[in-house]
Amino acid sequence: MQPSDDVKDVVTIGGNRYMSVKAISEAFGLSTRTVIRRLKENDIPSFRFGADSRSVRYRESDVDAMIEEVERERDR
């Protein structure tokens, strides 16, 4: 997956990339509602960044694993 590296949507810390819901939806061509629903259904951990901790991101490797699982289920 290669979302845009817009500073607000993708953050890299310690070699891990963290993505916003917007970045995830753009990378996979899904609506933000669908992304949020899938993240909740799959219990994907979120991380808060920023001084006010309002900026929520999801680890790219967790998102990739979730998408792979969703695709496997769809192909059954």
Q: What pLDDT is recorded for position 33?
A: 95
Six-digit token pair at 49? 């960044």
3-state secondary structure of 74: helix
- What mean pLDDT comes out for the span 12-23? 93
Q: What pLDDT is recorded for position 17?
A: 94
pLDDT band per the 50, 70, 90 thresholds, residue 75: confident
The structure's pTM equals 0.78
pLDDT higher than threshold 80 for residue 24: yes
Query: What is the H or E stretch that residue 24 is in?
Result: helix 21-28
- CATH class for the region spanning 10-75: mainly alpha
- What mean pLDDT comes out for the span 35-51? 88
Q: In sequence order, what are the residues at sequence separation of 6 or more whose Cβ sits closer than 8 angstroms to the Cβ of residue 9?
A: 3, 19, 20, 22, 23, 26
